Amino acid sequence: MQDRPLIGVTTYLATARWGVWEEPAVLLPAAYPALVRAAGGLAVMLPPDGPEAAPAVAARLDALVVSGGPDVDPALYGARRHPRTGPAVPERDRWEAALLRAALAAGLPLLGICRGMQLLNVVCGGTLLQHLPEAVGHEGHCPSTGAYARHLVLPVPGTTVAGLLPEPAVEVPTYHHQAVDRLGAGLRVAARAADGTVEALEGDGPGFVLGVQWHPEQGTDVRLVHALVRAAAGSR
């Protein structure tokens, strides 16, 4: 157990109810640490903290996972709020943006999932589509509230994602209404949906930098997280 890489996973910040209590809480769906364990890592939760703490936290980790969650504040990429954009969670935006910057600066292997990929793109100077159905003309990426859908993604030949997922198309769990618009610096598109939506990003330099729009923790395919854990073990 001591040899397993330590993988930090960011958390939600929300009001929660348990027993007789209803209080502000830091939350993480159990599927995230279960996925990390299945891939051979040790998961540790990273609740929001002051951005100044991010470099010290990153220095103690072997890899970082930025989890899914609410919409990124459009002010972070200089856009007006769309009527369908959800409420901002500034504490989480500031913390996760700082963690991503610290991880990128340190060469720490990282994986952004759904919101995590979107925030990675924003941190690198990119922008987001605030309501994807307006761009693609359908609700297939999030057809019903509170239920994951599934659709095919097409890895881009020659990318790391294509090497890890060599099938021409891979069915993935999906739940999002926003997506990457303008690509951030130092990133390249690694997979798309059939409608053209960017479904994966990766760094165009050395190191393991990956973002996926889908939710691997809601499926049984651990290949991407296996790759993260291998990169974490190799970077110690």
User: Please, what are the averages of pLDDT over each run of 10 residues along the chain (236 residues)?
Assistant: 88 95 96 97 97 98 98 98 96 98 98 98 98 95 94 97 97 97 98 98 95 97 97 87
Say what angle helices 90-106 and 115-123 make with each other, to 10 degrees: 70
Beta strand pairing call for 149-155 and 42-46: unpaired
What residues have CB less than 8 Å from 138, skipping those under 6 apart?
195
Domains of the chain: 6-234 (3.40.50.880)
**What pTM did the predictor assign?**
0.96
Q: Are 127 and 181 in contact (CB under 8 A)?
A: yes
Q: So what's the pLDDT on residue 130?
A: 98
At residue 53, the pLDDT reads: 98
Let me know the angle formed at the C-alpha of 62 by 201 and 44, rounded to the nearest 5 degrees. Answer: 95
Alpha-carbon gap, residue 27 to 29, rounded angstroms: 7
Q: Is 231 helix (H, G, I), strand (E, B) or coil?
A: helix
Separation between Cα atoms, residue 66 and residue 69, nearest integer Å: 10
Note the pLDDT tens digit of each residue in 106-157: 999 999 999 999 999 999 999 999 999 999 999 999 999 999 999 999 999 9
pLDDT of residue 2: 62
Beta strands in the chain (DSSP E): 6-10, 12-18, 21-27, 42-46, 63-66, 110-113, 128-129, 149-155, 170-174, 179-180, 187-193, 198-203, 209-212
Measured CA distances, 170 to 141, 162, 173, 197 (Å):
15, 10, 10, 14
Residue 117 vs residues 17, 71, 92, 202: alpha-carbon distances, Å: 29, 11, 14, 9
- Which of the residues are catalytic? 114, 215, 217
71: which 2 tokens? 């919409």
pLDDT of residue 235: 76
How do 209-212 and 179-180 pair as beta strands?
unpaired
Strands 110-113 and 21-27: unpaired
Q: Which of 31, 200, 28, 192 is nearest to 114 (CA)?
A: 200
**Rounded Cα distance, 36 and 174, in Å:** 19
CA torsion sign, 80 to 82 to 87 to 92?
Answer: negative
